[in-house]
C-alpha cells in the first residue's frame, strides 16, 4: 500500500519514465517480447518492493535471484490477497540468463518507481495503467477492447456523479482500475470491479491494493453473464462509472444492460460509449434499455479524446430503474478540453488549461449553469448530441433589402420580355 511522506504532487511523467525503463530491460535484456508478460513481471516486482522491500534488501543480480525474491515475497501473509498476481506471474516463462546490467536496470527502474510513489502525494493516479501503456507501446490497447479513460475525464465523472464516502461504486469493465483508484483515493473506499482478462484483472487488484482499497472486491468475470449480475446485485451498488469495451464482439450494450438490470432503482450511472451507440445498437435492445432506464444527460467529448483511437465518444448519464418515457435528454459538447498531442506522450495538458475549464463543466453537468452548446433532444428522434441549428433572425432592414432586390429583379425581367417583343 502506498504511504506518502510529503504533500508534493506526484509527477506521472516520472512514473512513465521508470515504467518504460523496466519494460525496456525486460524486452532487451531478458528477451521477453510479450508485453503482457512484461506487465505482470513488473507488477509483481512493484508489489513486492512496495510491500516487503525485498528487492532493495536482496539486490538481485541474476534472473534466478530476482525470481526467487519475488516468489518468496508472495508467500508472506501481507500479500495473501494478491494471489491473482502471483498466479499470472508463475505462468510467465522466466529466462534462466540475462546480462547482469539488464537485471540491474530493471531492479533500479522498479526501485525508482516505488520510491516515487512513496515520496509524493498520490491522488489516485492509474499506476497500473501507466505500466500497461509503457509495456504495450507496440500493441494497440484496442486489441483487447482496452480504451483507457484520460485522467481528467475520470475525475470529471467522479465529481459530477457526486460520489459520497458511503457510496458503493462499481466499474463492471474496470480495465486496470482507473475509475476505481480515483474513487477510492478521493471519494469512497467502497469500490467494486469486474474484469474479463486474467492479466488485466491481476493488474487491477494490484492497483486497488496500492490505492488502499480491497483487492478482493475486484472479481474476474464476464459482465454479460447472470453470475456476474447476481454478484453485482449482492453489493448494493449506488454509483456506476464505466468505459466498457466498444466492439460488438465484446458485448458493449449487453454489459450496459446487464449492469443496469443488476443495480437498485435510482442508481446514478455514467457510461462512456461511442456517440451513436444507442442509435446504432439493436433496436429491440435499445428500446428495452430505455423502457427500464432513463438517459438524463449526454456529454459529447472532444473528437481526439482517446489517443491513437478513432472512436468518437460521449458520456451517457443514466438513472437505473426509471423509464425514459417522453423525458427529454439534456446534451452538451465539450469540444475543447485544453489538451494537445505531445510527441510520444499522447494527449497532454502542458499548459494546465483543464484546471480552468473543469469548474465550468462540473457546474454544467450538475445543473448549476449551462454551456453555449447545451440543448435538449427528444429521445424518440435522437440519442446523441446534435449540432445545434443556428437561429435565423430577420430584421426589417434585411426584409427591405430582399424585397427591394426582388422587385428590381421583376422589373428587369419585365423589361427584358418587353424588349424581346
The confidence score (pLDDT) of residue 135 equals 87
The confidence score (pLDDT) of residue 1 equals 53
Beta partners for residue 314, in sequence order: 273, 300
Q: Copy the grid coordinates of residue 312.
A: 468518437
Task: Identify whether the C-beta of residue 84 lies closer than 8 Å to the C-beta of residue 201.
Answer: yes
Q: How far is CA 139 from the centre of its chain?
A: 18
Q: Copy the grid coordinates of residue 263.
A: 443495480
What does the pLDDT profile of the chain (421 residues) look like in tens digits? 554 444 566 778 889 899 999 999 999 999 999 999 999 999 999 999 999 999 999 999 999 999 999 999 998 888 888 889 999 999 999 888 899 999 999 999 999 999 988 876 667 778 888 888 888 876 554 454 466 788 899 999 999 999 999 999 999 999 989 999 999 888 888 999 999 999 999 999 999 988 888 999 999 999 999 999 999 999 999 999 999 988 777 889 999 999 999 999 999 999 999 999 999 999 999 999 999 999 999 999 999 888 666 789 999 999 999 999 999 999 999 999 999 888 766 788 889 999 999 999 999 999 999 999 999 999 999 999 998 766 667 676 777 777 777 777 777 767 766 565 5
Which strand (E) or helix (H) includes residue 21?
A: helix 12-24
Answer positive or negative: Cα dihedral of 226, 231, 237, 243: negative
Measured from the Cβ of residue 373, the count of other Cβ atoms closer than 10 Å reads: 16
Fill in the DSSP letter of residue 215. Answer: G
Of the candidates 98, 89, 84, the residue with the CA atom closest to the CA atom of residue 69 = 89
Question: Which homologous superfamily is 141-377 in?
Answer: Vaccinia Virus protein VP39 (3.40.50.150)
Which contacts of 334-342 are long-range, i.e. CB under 8 A and separated by 24 or more positions? 334/299, 334/300, 334/301, 334/302, 334/361, 334/373, 335/300, 335/302, 335/373, 336/302, 337/152, 337/153, 337/301, 337/302, 337/305, 339/150, 339/152, 339/302, 341/304, 341/307
Beta partners for residue 333, in sequence order: 300
Answer positive or negative: Cα dihedral of 143, 144, 149, 150: negative
Phi, psi of 256 (to 5 degrees): -60, -50
* Cβ-proximal residues to 137 (8 Å cutoff; 6+ apart), any chain: 20, 23, 35
Instruction: Give this prediction's pTM.
Output: 0.86
* Domain range summary for the chain, segments of one domain joined by +: 12-135, 141-377
Beta partners for residue 376, in sequence order: 330
Amino acid at each position: 500500500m502506498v504511504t506518502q511522506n510529503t504533500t508534493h504532487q506526484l509527477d506521472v511523467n516520472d512514473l512513465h519514465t521508470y515504467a518504460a525503463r523496466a519494460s525496456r530491460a525486460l524486452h532487451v535484456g531478458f528477451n521477453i517480447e510479450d508485453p503482457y508478460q512484461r506487465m505482470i513481471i513488473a507488477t509483481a516486482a512493484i508489489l513486492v518492493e512496495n510491500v516487503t522491500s525485498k528487492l532493495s534488501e536482496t539486490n538481485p543480480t541474476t534472473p534466478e535471484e530476482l525470481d526467487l525474491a519475488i516468489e518468496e515475497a508472495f508467500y508472506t501473509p501481507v500479500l495473501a490477497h494478491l494471489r491473482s498476481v502471483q498466479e499470472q506471474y508463475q505462468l510467465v516463462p522466466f529466462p534462466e540468463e540475462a546480462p547482469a546490467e539488464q537485471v540491474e536496470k530493471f531492479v533500479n527502474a522498479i526501485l525508482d518507481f516505488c520510491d516515487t510513489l512513496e515520496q509524493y502525494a498520490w491522488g489516485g493516479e492509474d499506476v497500473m495503467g501507466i505500466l500497461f501503456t509503457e509495456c504495450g507501446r507496440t500493441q494497440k490497447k484496442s486489441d483487447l477492447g482496452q480504451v483507457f479513460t484520460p485522467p481528467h475525464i475520470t475525475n470529471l465523472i467522479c465529481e459530477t456523479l457526486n460520489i459520497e464516502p458511503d457510496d458503493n461504486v462499481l466499474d463492471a469493465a474496470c480495465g486496470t482500475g482507473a475509475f476505481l483508484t480515483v474513487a477510492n483515493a478521493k471519494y469512497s473506499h467502497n469500490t467494486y470491479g469486474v474484469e474479463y482478462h486474467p492479466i488485466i484483472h491481476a493488474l487491477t487488484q494490484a492497483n486497488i491494493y496500492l490505492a488502499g482499497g480491497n483487492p478482493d472486491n475486484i472479481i474476474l468475470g464476464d459482465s454479460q453473464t447472470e453470475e456476474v449480475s447476481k454478484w453485482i446485485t449482492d453489493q448494493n451498488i449506488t454509483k456506476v462509472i464505466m468505459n466498457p469495451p466498444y466492439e460488438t464482439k465484446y458485448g458493449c450494450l449487453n454489459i450496459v444492460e446487464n449492469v443496469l438490470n443488476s443495480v437498485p432503482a435510482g442508481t446514478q450511472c455514467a457510461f462512456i460509449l461511442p456517440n451513436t451507440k444507442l442509435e446504432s445498437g439493436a433496436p429491440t435492445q435499445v428500446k428495452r434499455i430505455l423502457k427500464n432506464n432513463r438517459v438524463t444527460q449526454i456529454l459529447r467529448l472532444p473528437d481526439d479524446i482517446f489517443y491513437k483511437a478513432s472512436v468518437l465518444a460521449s458520456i451517457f448519464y443514466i438513472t437505473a430503474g426509471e423509464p425514459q418515457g417522453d423525458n427529454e435528454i439534456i446534451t452538451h459538447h465539450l469540444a475543447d478540453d485544453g489538451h494537445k498531442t505531445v510527441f510520444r506522450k499522447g494527449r497532454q495538458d502542458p499548459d494546465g488549461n483543464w484546471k480552468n475549464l473543469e469548474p465550468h463543466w462540473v457546474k454544467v453537468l450538475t445543473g448549476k449553469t449551462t454551456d453555449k452548446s447545451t440543448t435538449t433532444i427528444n429521445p424518440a428522434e435522437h440519442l446523441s448530441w446534435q449540432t445545434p441549428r443556428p437561429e435565423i433572425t430577420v430584421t426589417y432592414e434585411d426584409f427591405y433589402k430582399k424585397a427591394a432586390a426582388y422587385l428590381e429583379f421583376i422589373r428587369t425581367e419585365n423589361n427584358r420580355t418587353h424588349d424581346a417583343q
